[in-house]
Amino acid sequence: MTNLHPKFIAECPTIKLSRATFCRMRPIHILTTSFISRSTCLCTKHQNMALLLKALRKQDLEVPANPETFAKEGIAEEMLQNKLPDHVVFSQWKKIQIIEKEKKKFVTRIIESEKEKEEFIEYFMNQAEEFRGHVERVRKQYEEIKKLKENLPPNHLLVQMDFAENYSCKSVEEIQSAYWNQTGVTLHPAVAYFKDDKGDTQHKSFVVVSDEMSHSSSTVHAILEKLIPEMKTLISSIEFIRYWTD
């Protein structure tokens, strides 16, 4: 809004309007960036199930919009048989091959598909069963990681780590030709859990900045080896390190 106000004054010099009044007159359907919700790095299985449920809701079926709520409640196949039309249109996130600049590459996009009712019901029921298993595995994993934290033996470390994001590095004062010479770095946060002398669970956070962009298992091991000297300051002696990546 701060940038738009002087542009408006420049385009409409005959109108005298303060920035405060300009902001108040913003239409309610025009949202500022701080109020626009944009979720990234979502789970593919959760989003695909949400898209399937969206397709059912368009057919006036009473199903929850939340995929995990649906995993608990489910839906009867007879209801799908009775209420779905002969052809069902739905969307899914899929990896497809495209040709860009005469080169083949794979991209992930939302693809709209259409199936006959019987075919869609079979596809939906299979996806729902697979999704329930996915939700149960996630629940069990977090349940086990919680138990490990609570029952961590003395001189043992539990390190929870994952790659965060890749960033491009730029110079504060940069010449024009250097624009194409940007280097990249990745952030790899880690949290180490341990027991203190009183037996209470403590934790300490670390962030590794690296120009290794492969995000491979060997990179994770190298980062862990780099963190071990820092982790040795947390407890008197390290007997065992268990690490867990998302």
HEC sequence for the chain:
CCCHHHHHHHHCCCCCCCHHHHHHCCCCCCCCHHHCCCCCCCCHHHHHHHHHHHHHHHCCCCCCCCHHHHHHHCCCHHHHHHHCCCEEEEEEEEEEEEEECCEEEEEEEEEEEEEEHHHHHHHHHHHHHHHHHHHHHHHHHHHHHHHHHHCCCCCEEEEEECCCEEEEECCCCCCHHHHHHCEEEEEEEEEEEEECCCCCEEEEEEEEEECCCCCCHHHHHHHHHHHHHHHCCCCCCCCEEEEEEC
* Higher per-residue confidence, 183 vs 87: 87
For position 37, what pLDDT does the model report?
A: 59
Distances (CA, A) of 210 to 9, 59, 165, 189, 244: 46, 49, 11, 11, 20
The pLDDT of residue 51: 95
pLDDT in tens, 34-77: 655 566 678 899 999 999 999 999 999 999 989 999 999 989 88
Radius of gyration from C-alpha coordinates of the chain? 26
pLDDT for the residue 40:
66
Mean pLDDT taken over the chain = 87
CATH 3.30.420.10 in the chain, residue ranges: 152-168+183-245
Q: So what's the pLDDT on residue 35?
A: 53
How far apart, in whole angstroms, are the C-alpha atoms of residue 168 and residue 170?
Answer: 7
Topology (CATH level 3) of domain 152-168+183-245: Nucleotidyltransferase; domain 5 (3.30.420)
Specify whether the CB–CB gap between 243 and 161 falls below 8 A: yes
Tokens of 205: 């956070």
Burial of 55 (0-12, 13-18, 19+ CB in 10 A): buried
